[in-house]
Amino acid sequence: MMMVTVLTQEACPSCVNAKNTLAQLADEYPFNIVEIPLASAEGRDLANRVGIVFAPGILIDGELFSYGRLSEKKLRRHLSSVEWPTTRPPAGPS
């Protein structure tokens, strides 16, 4: 399953908006969301490693997707382009 990581900081309206957008899209697409505070050692290390300049930072399966204000349209376009595993049960005998 796809993993979306959100690097957030306190008093960040864009972080709140990004988390809300991701929560809504998680109802439509099969991905897990992990939130990491940018102020934590893990958050700082990750931000430095992938080049996140400011919050929120969004990573998809460990790869930088965006930082700053999250574009729902851009994210939807990306999610729509992913080849998702089929979850339909196998067809029964005819």
DSSP per-residue string spanning 32-82: EEEEEETTSHHHHHHHHHHT--SSPEEEETTEEEEESS--HHHHHHHHHHS
Q: Are 54 and 67 in contact (CB under 8 A)?
A: yes
Question: Rounded to two decimals, what is the model's pTM?
Answer: 0.84
Confidence label for 67 from pLDDT (cuts 50, 70 and 90): very high
The pLDDT, as a whole number, for residue 83 is 72
Q: Are 23 and 32 in contact (CB under 8 A)?
A: no
The pLDDT, as a whole number, for residue 82 is 82
The residues spanned by each domain of the chain are 19-81
Residue 35's nearest CA partner among 71, 10, 72, 53 is 10
